[in-house]
Chains A and B, each alone.
Chain A
């Protein structure tokens, strides 16, 4: 597979250049085509955004307006009641806390394990390297639903030799599972970032007397910084948004906000206002993180594709 090399800064530079040159010469191109292209963009954006707008709209409406048959496109009496009742709903805060804990453990664990694994794959050649890369790739492909039963069985009987644990219906069990879930992506992406660091840097540092461990710690780790940020955000989004595994393994007291949302969709039926408010609260961390790394998003997506 020959993937295009990623130079994250190139498009930016190009854009700046475009601005500087604007209006100098205009190579003729059909005006109607440009209008058509812009129209298509606007129409498509509206389609993409409409459901999101509707969530916001519903969340700020008082209960009677939500259920009104005439759909109002704007809440006539905007209110925060739905948010307050979401916060006061049973288990909302508990599940939010659970979600934070599970996600943090999974992401932090995946970063440490993934960084070391990526180092080994990117910087050493050894017997079985290809096999490991293949496994990492295939794992991303196979559907994990088929693994839910074995997973349940394994977590039920974790035998550490001296003591047996039942990790179902617990936070550690789900955290480890999520760690494994986001690990392939983490390794693959970090591998791309590490491969992008010239080996000459390692060699120069070693000539100057660095040990190999120091090279990893002082040279490669800081230079992989942006990669660590990008992968942790993607890991965060995945772990935070997951609900199938947690819904299967854990009872509502030990679930996260996604599972909470679904529980409340079925049990409360028509309480759309608080439900949508809950959905907004749940999405806020993800959106915030996204906006932070939004500039580098393409880099994060494609870094894994760099040949190494």
Chain B
């Protein structure tokens, strides 16, 4: 090439790299730094406590409760969402059977695609407000309102046993459409000939799904799993807005991110919040790394 490329590279990358360096890298360095101090969030950062915040965490029952809830979401959110999304993506793309040797989706699959994606468009703030109504604990709640007057209304979010389940339902409801579209895109790239050949050999829908779709879509599923796991580590918005006493009743819906937020901005425990943030950082990255390496396998190319 005639002209030097480095002026371009440096010119193009200086702004994004600077932004990342300041807003992400430097911010994280600060978070790590603050995590070894006891600090209210105001005034000078002086009171060095070393690993004191982490020791405090170890003895904090709410911390372990929150971890438990994060793990609950981490297990069920990806499983349920991926399974539902795979089934529906399959229906939309292949489920309609074959006509003239061409594989099709079920009737109306274009409309479904839009409908399923719809929840993705609503802001989490709105979703949380809506589902606050859906799970209303008295007769004005949407679900309770569907049943006869004489029935004892379900408490949903106000019941320790079901509160976390309600959060999970909303997370799945919101996420599934995105993954239907994502998987559909992946399936669109699987050559129809593959399905045709299998169908001619007498493969049933089930066989097509398990023997062709899943193996050829493995990479996409893997990515989906990581994204959903990260969503499970977050879950802040919904828990913060929807739950009783924010994280209640009695800590039954507390998650790590909520603890971070409340310690930082409500309990004046910015040091402790930063320590929790450090833990969340490592948990998330560990999860992503473990998932990606544990599910790695020879990818089958279409």
Contacts and interface: CB of A to CB of B under 8 A. Distances in A.
B234 A149 contact: no
A29 B106 contact: no
Interface in B5-25: 5-6, 8-9, 11-13, 15-17, 19-20, 22-24
Nearest to B21: A135
A146 interface: yes
Contact of A69 (B20, B139, B280): B139
B252 interface: no
Interface string A26-51: 11010001100110110011011111
A253 B43 CA distance: 26
Contacts of B80: none
Interface residues of B, number: 114
A145 B234 contact: yes
A226 to B, nearest CB: 15
Contact of B126 (A142, A146, A283): A283
Interface in A175-234: 176-177, 179-180, 183, 187, 206, 211-213
A113 B11 CA distance: 10
Interface stretch (A9-17, A77-85, A88-96, A162-170): A9-17
B20 A135 contact: yes
A250 interface: no
A149 B29 CA distance: 12
A27 B276 CA distance: 58
A33 B184 CA distance: 20
A289 to B, nearest CB: 9
A154 B182 contact: no
Interface stretch (B50-58, B59-67, B95-103, B154-162): B95-103
A58 B134 CA distance: 12
Interface in A97-148: 113-114, 116-117, 119-120, 124, 126, 132, 135, 138-139, 141-143, 145-148
Given A211-B3, A262-B125, A132 B257 contact: no
B12 A298 contact: no
Contacts of B11: 116
B30 A3 contact: no
A147 B28 contact: yes
Given A52-B122, A297-B181, A37 B27 contact: no
A74 interface: no
B122 A146 contact: no
A292 interface: no
A149 B123 contact: no
A120 B13 contact: yes
B194 interface: no
A279 B102 contact: no
Interface in B176-194: 176-178, 181-182, 184-186, 188-190, 192
A230 to B, nearest CB: 13
Contacts of B273: 149
A245 B220 CA distance: 30
A1 B291 CA distance: 13
Given A21-B102, A151-B27, A2 B264 contact: no
B12 A119 contact: yes
B75 interface: no
A262 B108 CA distance: 36
Contact of A6 (B16, B146, B185): B185
Given A124-B9, A180-B19, A243 B125 contact: yes
Contact of B121 (A124, A237, A262): A237
Given A4-B186, A113-B16, A29 B97 contact: yes
Interface of A: 1-7, 10-11, 14, 17-18, 21-27, 29, 33-34, 37-38, 40-41, 44-45, 47-52, 54-55, 58, 67, 69-71, 113-114, 116-117, 119-120, 124, 126, 132, 135, 138-139, 141-143, 145-151, 153-154, 176-177, 179-180, 183, 187, 206, 211-213, 237, 240-244, 248, 258-259, 261-262, 265, 272, 275, 279, 282-283, 286-287, 290, 294, 297-299, 301-302, 305
Given A141-B285, A146-B260, A149-B264, 18 more contacts: A4-B220, A34-B95, A38-B106, A41-B92, A54-B133, A54-B134, A69-B140, A135-B24, A146-B28, A150-B30, A154-B27, A237-B121, A261-B126, A279-B122, A282-B126, A283-B121, A297-B117, A302-B185
Interface of B: 1-3, 5-6, 8-9, 11-13, 15-17, 19-20, 22-24, 26-28, 30-31, 34, 41, 84, 87-88, 91-92, 95-102, 104, 106-109, 111-112, 114-119, 121-126, 129-134, 139-140, 142, 145-146, 173, 176-178, 181-182, 184-186, 188-190, 192, 199-200, 205, 216, 219-220, 223, 226, 230, 233-234, 236-237, 241, 257, 260-261, 264-265, 270, 273-274, 276-278, 280-281, 284-285, 288, 299, 301-302
23 contacts: A2-B219, A2-B301, A3-B219, A14-B192, A21-B101, A37-B106, A51-B142, A52-B118, A117-B12, A124-B5, A135-B20, A141-B230, A146-B276, A148-B264, A154-B22, A180-B23, A183-B19, A206-B2, A211-B3, A241-B123, A282-B123, A283-B126, A301-B185
